[in-house]
Chain A
Amino acid sequence: MSGLAQASVAPAAAEVTAGGDDQRPTRRSWTAYLLLLPGALWLGVFFVLPLVQLATVSLQSRFPGFPGYYYRDVNFQNYVSALTDYGPHFLRSFVYAGLATFLAFVVAYPLAYAMAFKAGKWRNLMMICVVAPFFTSFILRTFAWSQILADEGWVAGILNFLHLLPSGHIINTPLAVVAGLTYNFLPFMVLPIYASLERADPRVIEAGGDLYADGFTTFRTVTLPMSMPGVLAGTLLTFIPAAGDFVNMELLGPQRGKMVGNVINDQFLAIPGGYPVAAALSFTLMAAILVMVFLYVRRFGTEELV
């Protein structure tokens, strides 16, 4: 919101100031390029260039008669086979990541709310508690979930006692994958929501109560809209890594019915000559995510994302 306002005000301001002081803006912009150059070069060489290379690989063609060999070409067949052979994998990735994002939002909001408005002097301690678990390696924690959710574990025990599990298992089911994804990216949801709630004035929320709105109405019409930039950033920071993840599926999920991340990883690292199709899969994943991000930001958006 404020970012958009700034963006539209800045050019006007530039015109106004440029009249009085000709020399300053040019000198200043040269300094800006010098400051920007090393980082931009790094991103150019190790982000943009690799993506260009990946794009050319995704268009290579198969050498007839030589399995695993490819030559440079502009061939969209890899994209066709990526979508037809691995459509279900894409669908699973987006559904599981979407569910995990929603669950993470439900779990994260009360915590972020309590940190912003109720914690008082405990605020810093709670902040440390949110980040601290993530200093234990994320693979170790995911592995710990495979112990917690194991058939002999207490979670499966309780749920089976209540007859809530149709198959009798959690581990090696999509449910365990969604649970792992929800857990692993939770701080990325908590911290942006907390940051935007912290900036909000609690008196505005109290005013909702004073005007006889019940708790839910106050939340829906006052609190939630005020935290929207944080919710937006949080959902993106959760959904994007979750959609590309393969570790949770590998450690917690079933043997069959993998996500697109598993396919890309296996094609690149385990299957010789799998590069072109895997590159096409990577690009399709990235394009799908960028389009979704764009539409999502357009729909709910603010300029300042993070």
Chain B
Amino acid sequence: MTTTTAPASAPYRPSAAKRAQLWLANHFAMLSAILVLLYLFLPVAYTFAFSFNDHGKTNIVWQGFTWKHWQDPCRVAGACESLVTSLQVGAISTLVATVLGTLMALAMVRYRFRGKAASNVLIFVPMATPEIVMGAALLTIFVQGFSNIGISLGFGTIVFAHIMFCLSFVVVTVKARVQSLDPRIEEAAQDLYASPMQTFWKVTFPLILPGILGAAMLAFSLSFDDFIITNFVSGNESTFPKFVYVASRRGIPAEANVIGFSMFVLAVLLVIGAQVVGSWRANRVKG
């Protein structure tokens, strides 16, 4: 090693082979990432394409192009009603789960108290429980226990269940944001004679708001797309995923594809919009 006499001034340059290898390594990751993204979008593309299928009884094989499903997607009985139910369930569950979950996250990060480990388990176990077990358990208690106090399967039980399974995910998401917060910022506010309430609303809340919004979006998408638990606790009420599943026995009508794809476009626009507003606000603060 000591005998090598490379000129000390020359900068380190990898050999051509090494560079080619590095180039390939760099682009290999990006290339496979693009392939994976295409794979993720493949069924969405099929859903979109088959919303234009001029199908007969079943919408499985391509039979010809038509606009008719897009002109009146509510033509199929139950499609739009179930969509409205899903949106209502999603909105209520998201609101309640986000508020309750944010409070829990604040307690878990900011305070020491007896029973913290038990609370951690209580929050973690619902996420590690298969949906089918939660659905089964909820069904037994709704049918055999809570029916005695006048609760029957329907809209209400769907909302109760959705709040329950969204809650843990909200806690985990908000917790991460609160943990990344520097406690000295809040201490500074206290030092400047802000009351605890003022400190929370003027300092803590704005700083954790992105985490809360992220948690709310997660909760809504979990609620909106849930089928397994909903199927157990919904009784005669139908949500959009349940409508699609029931229809799949006979063949999903293309109108369901229209609604599903529209929700996809709407959600993507919302997410991009939120990103744009977020970066605009960040720039304004900096500038």
Contacts and interface: CB of A to CB of B under 8 A. Distances in A.
A49 B149 CA distance: 15
A285 B130 contact: yes
A139 B259 CA distance: 13
B43 A305 contact: no
Nearest to A41: B100
Interface in B250-285: 252, 256-257, 260-261, 263-264, 266-268, 271-272, 275
Contact of A53 (B40, B141, B257): B141
A244 interface: yes
B278 to A, nearest CB: 9
B167 A244 contact: no
B26 interface: yes
A5 interface: no
A290 B128 contact: yes
A137 B260 contact: yes
Interface size class of A (residues with CB under 8 A): 35 or more
Contacts of B189: none
Contacts of A35: 103-104, 106-107, 111
B225 interface: yes
Interface stretch (B1-9, B44-52, B68-76, B204-212): B44-52
Contacts of B232: 268-269
A140 B248 CA distance: 9
Nearest to A242: B130
Contact of B221 (A134, A261, A278): A134
A250 to B, nearest CB: 8
B60 A147 contact: yes
Nearest to A210: B12
Interface string A27-67: 01101110110111011101111110110010000000000
A111 B33 contact: yes
22 contacts: A28-B111, A28-B113, A43-B122, A43-B123, A43-B164, A46-B160, A46-B163, A50-B134, A107-B36, A108-B36, A110-B29, A126-B33, A139-B244, A139-B248, A144-B42, A144-B44, A144-B47, A145-B43, A148-B46, A150-B61, A269-B231, A289-B128
Closest 4 interchain pairs by CB?
A: A244-B130, A32-B111, A114-B33, A50-B137
Interface of A: 10, 14, 25, 28-29, 31-33, 35-36, 38-40, 42-44, 46-51, 53-54, 57, 107-108, 110-111, 113-115, 117-119, 124, 126, 128-148, 150, 152, 183, 186, 209, 215, 236-237, 240-241, 243-247, 251, 261, 264-265, 268-269, 275, 278-279, 282-283, 285-286, 289-290, 293, 305-306
